[in-house]
Amino acid sequence: MTKKVKAPIGYHFMVKNNNDFYLMETSGEYSKHTAGGYTSQLSLDVQIKKSHTTTSTSVSASSSTTRTSTRTVSSRRTSTSTSTGY
């Protein structure tokens, strides 16, 4: 079973024949194009699965300790004003 998924407004999909795809922002008006073996599309068919496939994995003692680091990036906007002298 598949479901057609539309790209959000202002974006399009870049799709390869092997079902590899990524989402890209559209600059200006959308026009169909190709790049690096990918073809642009405004929608794509996605396969719907009814359950997850499970695989067995073994966990070693060294992998039980996990470090998580979080980095915060702040965006600073600089405003400039121009004085006309009037």
Question: Each residue of 29-49: pLDDT tens digit?
Answer: 999 999 999 999 999 998 899
20 belongs to a structural domain: yes
> Mean per-residue pLDDT for 55-83?
51
70 belongs to a structural domain: no
Nearest-angstrom CA–CA distance, 21 and 47? 13
* Domain count across the chain: 1
Provide CB contacts within 8 A for 32, sequence distance 6+.
39, 40, 41
Round the average pLDDT of the chain to a whole number and report it: 77
15 belongs to a structural domain: yes
45 belongs to a structural domain: yes
85 belongs to a structural domain: no
Domain membership of residue 35 as a residue range: 2-49
